[in-house]
Every structure is written in structure tokens, then in C-alpha cells.
Amino acid sequence: MAKNVAKEIPVVVTTDKRGVFFGYVTEIYKAKMSLRAARLCVYWSADCKGFMGLGAKGPTKSCKIGPPANITVFDITSVVECTPEAVKAWEAAPWAG
């Protein structure tokens, strides 16, 4: 018999302190969320078309994306579910410069 395993959802999370993070969650909450393999978006370029573009297309080679870590994010202002295209770009973790 198979166990019920929660499916991970790839998301971009923004916070009230202007943090922008990519990671994997099993549930979406407003106050705090634990992100697996989270990456901080230090800088995104205009070609991303804003933080929602980071969820739709992902970061480009002009962006600065940090290395992965398991984190808990507080004071969430939005959660954008990522497309498969965006996930691939986030996993590539571009860092311009």
C-alpha cells in the first residue's frame, strides 16, 4: 500500500520586507511557509517583467540568484505558482557579473 505523500509545488514567494524567493512547498500559508531548496532572487532584470514574470518564465541570465537552502519565510505578501519553464530557469540559478 502506497503512503500519501504531499506533492511539492514550485513557487515564488514575496514578503513584506521585499524578499523574493523560489522554492518548493507542500502547503500555502499567509503568515509563514517552509521552502525546500529555496533560492533568493538578489536581483532580477527588466526582461523578467516583474516578480510575476519570475513565476511565469523564471530568472534570465541577467539576474542574480543565490544558492539553495531550506528556509522558513515569514510575512508573506504573495505566492506565485511556477511554470515548468520557470522551474528549469530557477534551478539553473543564473548570476550575472
The CATH number of the domain holding residue 61 is 2.30.30.100
Q: Which residues contact 97 (CB under 8 A, 6 or more apart)?
A: 64
Q: Are 54 and 22 in contact (CB under 8 A)?
A: yes
Kindly state the average pLDDT of the residues 7-32. 94
For 45, the domain range is: 12-92
The predicted structure's pLDDT at residue 90: 96
Domain count, the chain: 1
**In this structure, what C-alpha cell is assigned to residue 30?**
499567509
Whether 68 is in a domain gets the answer: yes
Is the predicted pLDDT of residue 4 greater than 70, yes or no?
no
Whether 75 is in a domain gets the answer: yes
Whether 5 is in a domain gets the answer: no
How many Å apart are CA 86 and CA 57, to the nearest integer? 4
Whether 97 is in a domain gets the answer: no
The predicted structure's pLDDT at residue 6: 77
Whether 49 is in a domain gets the answer: yes
| Residue 82's pLDDT band (cuts 50, 70, 90) | very high
Whether 60 is in a domain gets the answer: yes
Q: Are 7 and 26 in contact (CB under 8 A)?
A: yes
